[in-house]
Amino acid sequence: MAREGGLRLLGLTVSPFVVRVRMALQLKGIGYEYIEQDLFTKGELLLVSNRVHKKVPVLIHDGKPVCESLAIVHYVDEVWAATGPSILPADPYERADARFWAAYADSKLLPAWVGIMWAATEEEKAEKVGDTLTAIGHLEEAFGKCSKGKPFFAGDSVGYLDLVLGSQLLWFEALRKMFGVVVIEEGKAPLLSAWVKRFGQTDTAKEVVPDVDIAVQYLKKLQSHRPGSTVAQLLS
Amino acid sequence: MAGGDELKLLGSWLSPFATRVKLALALKGLSYAEVEEDLCNKSELLLRSNPVHKKVPVLIHNGVPVCESVIIMQYIDEAFAGAGPSLLPLDPHERAVARFWASYIDEKLVIPWVRSFRGTTEEEKSEGLKQAFAAVENLEGALRECSKGKGGFFGGDGIGLVDITLGSLLTWAHAAEVMSGTRIFDPARTPLLAAWMVRFDELDVAKAVLPDVGRMVEFKTKQARALAAARASDSK
């Protein structure tokens, strides 16, 4: 793997926002120094590199920080355009479509399943489960349209939307283990269900995604330290 | 514009998100058909074109819809790359910074600012305004960095994605000053942004596109009264 001088990634192993950046770097075959952050006691480098949000991931390239996971993935795709596969599609409409669904996955799906973990009552939990399944329903339809019969959202191999949704999958596993909630059920979302299996088999997933037990342990730690935390505190 | 390109914008004069798209199209010198949506009675075309969110703006290019204002602006920049100035800079790091701030404006400025008009309690409204001012302070720092030595816009000598994203909110800013005396871009607190606002207002595209302040004041005043009346009757 080409070792890029001066490339550091500040992250949290189990954060979907970090996982997708690591997947992007893996796809491009770029080496970097990974620095795990303690989000309970944030270090100087993180605070200085992301003054505005103080969140992970932050990619520091030749001393210049890049923040916000989706902006970072675009950045990686653009800087290393000549290396490895393209992460975003070439066609402007397909790019807009991939961005739309990525934004949807982050703004509608992610807060819903995070809400399941923090629900104070059974009623609230049921509501969040409902929201999660609604979002999955839309993404199932999107998969049909985007993939056009091919194995991934991006076609023959993984791309932007595969990474954005794929980075959330380890938490779906954690939800199943800890709460008995099945987010992507074969009967209700057959296309996504098959995609999950295929995605799990890719080098990108195998090399980057941590074991589900690490996510479970982290959630237990969060629950004991900060009951009622927000999405931000949980994963960035 | 190339022959055979048909552009239709589903929008509303009330929506700053739609205003962004109009500014981008005007900057690029692209002609389009404008459909004014009644947000209380959305058209079949809108519901069909944006089934997921059912919101404006939607840009329909040769019959194909693109949704979400910041995504639409990037689409216009990419699909019509040869037309007019670029909305995003060429340098990948500068592009990442622009994407960061565009996303910041929507998440940290727009949301609390809307809460400051529409909040249910005085406390909620004043908290919203406080958060909006905090966001504006960060944007002052961003403007200082982005416009270093150049023409005083986030985009440098000319306006770009971030200028348009923020500039679309200027009618609200002027209306708020008329209605409550609040100056969101207060020269005493954020002098660079106050000067930027004057500069932006002077642009031909702004004069052509930004909705009339008087009309906005009239609408917002009626809306505030209707909201107050509805809440008063709810609590009886």
Q: Residue B217 in contact with residue B211, Cβ under 8 Å?
A: no
**Nearest-CA residue of chain A relative to B90?**
A78
Distance of CA B202 to the CA centre of its chain: 17
Which residues from chain A sit within 8 angstroms of residue B104, using beta carbons?
52
CB atoms B79 and A92 under 8 Å = yes
Among A67, A103, A138, whose Cβ lies nearest the Cβ of B100?
A67
DSSP class per residue in B120-179: SSHHHHHHHHHHHHHHHHHHHHHHHHHTTTSSSBTTBSS--HHHHHHHTTHHHHHHHHHH
Look at residue B234 in the predicted model and tell me its pLDDT: 78
Reported as a pLDDT band with limits 50, 70 and 90, residue B104 is very high
Q: Does A136 touch chain B (CB under 8 A)?
A: no
CB atoms A100 and B78 under 8 Å = no
Q: At what angle do helices B191-202 and B170-180 cross, to 10 degrees?
A: 110
Task: Give residue-wise pLDDT tens across range B19-32.
Answer: 999 999 999 999 99
**Nearest-CA residue of chain A relative to B135?**
A52
The alpha carbon of residue A98 is apart from the nearest alpha carbon of chain B, in Å, by 10
Look at residue A194 in the predicted model and tell me its pLDDT: 98
Look at residue A133 in the predicted model and tell me its pLDDT: 98
Cα–Cα nearest to B76, from B162, B7, B166:
B7
Reported as a pLDDT band with limits 50, 70 and 90, residue A234 is low
Q: Does A141 touch chain B (CB under 8 A)?
A: no
Which residues from chain A sit within 8 angstroms of residue B71, using beta carbons?
96, 99-100, 103
What value of ipTM does the predicted structure carry? Answer: 0.95
Question: In Å, what is the CA distance from A196 to each residue of A162, A166, A204, A213?
Answer: 10, 8, 13, 18
The alpha carbon of residue B95 is apart from the nearest alpha carbon of chain A, in Å, by 8
Which residues from chain A sit within 8 angstroms of residue B67, using beta carbons?
100
CB atoms A78 and B74 under 8 Å = no
Reported as a pLDDT band with limits 50, 70 and 90, residue A232 is low
- Order of all β-strands in the sheet with A30-36: A30-36, A2-11, A58-61, A64-67
d(CA A36, CA A53): 17
Task: Give residue-wise pLDDT tens across range A143-200.
Answer: 999 999 999 999 999 999 999 999 999 999 999 999 999 999 999 999 999 999 999 9
CB atoms B103 and A95 under 8 Å = no
Q: Residue A20 in contact with residue A75, Cβ under 8 Å?
A: no
A151: helix, strand or coil = coil
Relative to beta strand B7-11, strand B58-61 is: antiparallel
Question: In Å, what is the CA distance from A229 to each residue of A40, A114, A181?
Answer: 12, 10, 20
The alpha carbon of residue A93 is apart from the nearest alpha carbon of chain B, in Å, by 7
A109: helix, strand or coil = helix
Which residues from chain A sit within 8 angstroms of residue B61, using beta carbons?
93
d(CA A235, CA A14): 7
Reported as a pLDDT band with limits 50, 70 and 90, residue B111 is very high
Reported as a pLDDT band with limits 50, 70 and 90, residue A226 is low
Q: Residue B164 in contact with residue B73, Cβ under 8 Å?
A: yes
Size of interface A-B (CB pairs under 8 A): 56
Which residues from chain B sit within 8 angstroms of residue A92, using beta carbons?
75, 78-79
State the residue for tokens 């962004």: B20
**pLDDT (average), residues B47-66:** 98
Burial class (CB in 10 A: 0-12, 13-18, 19+), A69: buried
A32: helix, strand or coil = strand
Q: Does A152 touch chain B (CB under 8 A)?
A: no
Question: In Å, what is the CA distance from A17 to each residue of A97, A114, B89, B126, B186?
Answer: 20, 13, 25, 32, 35
Look at residue B236 in the predicted model and tell me its pLDDT: 61
d(CA B179, CA B223): 12
A7: helix, strand or coil = strand
Look at residue A222 in the predicted model and tell me its pLDDT: 86
The alpha carbon of residue A138 is apart from the nearest alpha carbon of chain B, in Å, by 8
- How many residues appear in chain A? 236
Q: Residue A135 in contact with residue A108, Cβ under 8 Å?
A: yes
d(CA A157, CA A199): 10
Interface test with A, best of B93, B110, B145 (most A CBs within 10 A): B93
Task: Give residue-wise pLDDT tens across range A29-84.
Answer: 999 999 999 998 999 999 999 999 999 999 999 999 999 999 999 999 999 999 99
Q: Which two tokens stand for residue B135?
A: 């966001």
**Nearest-CA residue of chain B relative to A76?**
B92
Look at residue B52 in the predicted model and tell me its pLDDT: 97
Among B75, B93, B138, whose Cβ lies nearest the Cβ of A52?
B138
Q: Which two tokens stand for residue A41?
A: 């006691």
Q: What is the pTM of this model?
A: 0.95
Look at residue A231 in the predicted model and tell me its pLDDT: 55
Interface test with A, best of B28, B54, B55, B71 (most A CBs within 10 A): B71
B2 contacts: CB under 8 Å, gap ≥ 6: none
Reported as a pLDDT band with limits 50, 70 and 90, residue A4 is low
Q: Does A61 touch chain B (CB under 8 A)?
A: yes
**Nearest-CA residue of chain A relative to B71?**
A96
Handedness of CA B17, B21, B26, B31 (dihedral sign): negative
d(CA A52, CA A18): 18
d(CA A28, CA A119): 38
Q: What are phi and psi of A168, to 5 degrees?
A: -95, -15
Percent of chain A with pLDDT over 90: 89
A4: helix, strand or coil = strand
DSSP letter for A105, please: I
Look at residue B1 in the predicted model and tell me its pLDDT: 46
Task: Give residue-wise pLDDT tens across range B118-163.
Answer: 888 999 999 999 999 999 999 999 999 988 767 699 999 899 999 9
Look at residue B89 in the predicted model and tell me its pLDDT: 95
